[in-house]
């Protein structure tokens, strides 16, 4: 069995607060960085894919009526990227996922999860989470290789 494509994802979580953001907001990545691998193509097919949903993004929303809605954006650094990689927020306990976001080296941050309204608790914060589903896609013409991604998630005012 020969290796066709492999993508190693390292997660970097940044918390960026806008000018009206509250204290008590945070991001946490659980489950470790996924490693997706494609070993072979199905005979007659020119593309193949692999998925991983073993990571969870945990986000904390602060309480307060005056707070702006928040969003989570995503970007990546992957010098020499050879294969297609996308990430999607699935089944969030709060917020609206935007659908799969293609991850390309040097991309501007793109919205992954929107409409994170302030916590309804009188004081404190609400902890929420979403499953992160990564999808690796390789084409025959891509050839064998390995991509290494540093994925950055950012929590900021919407």
pLDDT tens across 90-127, in order?
999 999 999 999 999 999 999 999 998 877 766 667 88
Report, as an integer, the average pLDDT of 87-92. 96
Domain count, the chain: 1
Of 131, 69, 137, whose CA–CA distance to 103 is shortest?
137
pTM for the complete prediction? Answer: 0.85
Banded model confidence at residue 20, pLDDT cuts 50, 70, 90 = very low
The range of the structural domain enclosing residue 54 comes to 5-157
Of 17, 105, 95, 102, whose CA–CA distance to 57 is shortest?
95
């Amino acid at each position: 069995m020969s290796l066709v494509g492999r993508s190693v994802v390292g997660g970097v979580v940044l918390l960026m607060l806008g000018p009206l953001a509250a204290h008590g907001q945070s991001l946490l990545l659980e489950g470790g960085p996924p490693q997706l691998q494609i070993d072979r193509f199905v005979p007659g097919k020119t593309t193949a894919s692999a998925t991983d949903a073993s990571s969870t993004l945990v986000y904390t929303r602060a309480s307060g009526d005056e707070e702006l809605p928040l969003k989570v954006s995503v970007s990546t650094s992957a010098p020499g990227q050879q294969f297609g990689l996308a990430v999607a927020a699935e089944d969030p306990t709060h917020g609206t996922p935007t659908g799969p976001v293609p991850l390309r080296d040097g991309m501007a941050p793109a919205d992954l999860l929107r409409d994170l309204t302030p916590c309804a608790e009188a004081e404190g914060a609400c902890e929420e989470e979403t499953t992160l589903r990564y999808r690796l896609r390789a084409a025959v013409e891509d050839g064998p290789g390995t991509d290494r991604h540093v994925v950055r998630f950012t929590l900021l005012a919407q």
